[in-house]
Amino acid sequence: MGRIRGETRRPLAMVENSTFEEIDRVIRAHERFAVVSHVRPDGDAIGSILALGSALEGLGKSVRYLNQDGCPESLMFLKGAEKVEVSSEVGELDVEVAIFLDTAAQARVGDDSLEAVKGAEVLVNIDHHLSNPGYGDLNYVDAGSPATGQILYDLLVGLDYPISEISRDAIYVAVSTDTGSFQYPGTTKATYEMAADLVGRGLDVGRMNQLTYDNQPYRRVELMRSLLNTLERSEDGKLVWWELTSETKEALGLVDDDTEGMIDFIRAVQGVVVAMFFEELDGGKIRVSMRSKDAQVNVSEICGDFGGGGHALAAGIRMAGPLESAKESVVARVSEVVAGELGGVC
């Protein structure tokens, strides 16, 4: 199906976007849907598929909730989380429309997810990553939004779709986790207005925050201790980085979700401009997470030099190892950019 073009509500984005009305027409015209999010899902990824999927079910649609890695343990408290299926376990699905959420590049949903929805007639791409190229038949990419969950809130309200308890709580967790509890620079007036409306719809903020942030397994404490023992810093203190080896992951019995948010601890150090987290993956690959505290240092562009991408202040890379080689090349590039933008020698 070719990309539909139309009327109103086009955000500032790098791709030509469809409108909410155009997305609505596709939704109204079909019955069988799959909502899919990226591998190693975070709160925005899982929250987004739960929020939109529940709304679609409220419209009487048949919905499958997919993720390559399933729902992480830390997000199983969300209502509806049990509906999230591991893509490798479902085979090819009989769906008409696949909606990819919070996924900057089509391949980031994973091979099993791509296989599961390959028979879909229409691909809808809804996201907030600056590096998203607009790979769907319909695209709504708003890089100015702090979270895909906030885009979905606007979509549901704008189209007068039902907002169930599942959608309400999932949207809140999606936006809260992607904004650092409403702290990051991308947080807007509309973000707080959205949160206030969700409270008006019955959201229990205290309980939701407790379940999201104050309910961590002890192995994450052990992980923090291990990471601190690897911490390195540039001479001027503008760069910090640490590493996680496969050996440490195995010794601590870690799951992928255990590293979520860890980089924020070193990002918060006074004087730091860029924080980096290097993690060994299976197959000799290295996962690099990167955070910037200065708008002059666009880490999405830096990660793009290595085939990655993301947001201006939060981005990532998957690159070839070994770990020491990856660290050397990435730290050197970040040092070069920081020195060029802010002066000094890192």
Number of H helices, E strands in the chain: 12, 12
Question: Same CATH fold, 219-342 and 20-213?
Answer: no
How far apart CA 257 and CA 265 sit, in angstroms, is: 16
| AA letter at 85 | E
- Would you list the domain boundaries of the chain? 20-213, 219-342
Q: Is the Cβ–Cβ distance between 70 and 85 less than 8 Å?
A: yes
pLDDT of residue 12: 44
280 close to 286: Cβ distance less than 8 angstroms? yes
d(CA 122, CA 1): 6
DSSP element (H, E) containing 342? helix 323-342
> What's the CATH fold of domain 219-342?
Diaminopimelate Epimerase; Chain A, domain 1 (3.10.310)
The tens place of each residue's pLDDT in the chain, 346 residues long, gives 332 223 334 444 457 899 999 999 999 999 999 999 999 999 999 999 999 999 999 999 999 999 999 999 999 999 999 999 999 999 999 999 999 999 999 999 999 999 999 999 999 999 999 889 999 999 999 999 999 999 999 999 999 999 999 999 999 999 999 998 998 888 999 999 999 999 999 999 999 999 999 999 999 999 999 999 999 999 999 999 999 999 999 999 999 889 988 999 999 999 999 999 999 999 999 999 999 999 999 999 999 999 998 888 999 999 999 999 999 999 999 999 999 988 754 4
**CB-facing half-sphere around the CA of 68: CA atoms within 13 A:** 20
Task: Please give, one letter per residue, the 3-state secondary structure of 172-190.
Answer: HHHHHHHCCCCCCCCCCHH
Fold of the domain built from segment(s) 20-213? inorganic pyrophosphatase (n-terminal core) (3.90.1640)
Give ∠ CA 340-344-346 in degrees, rounded to 5: 90
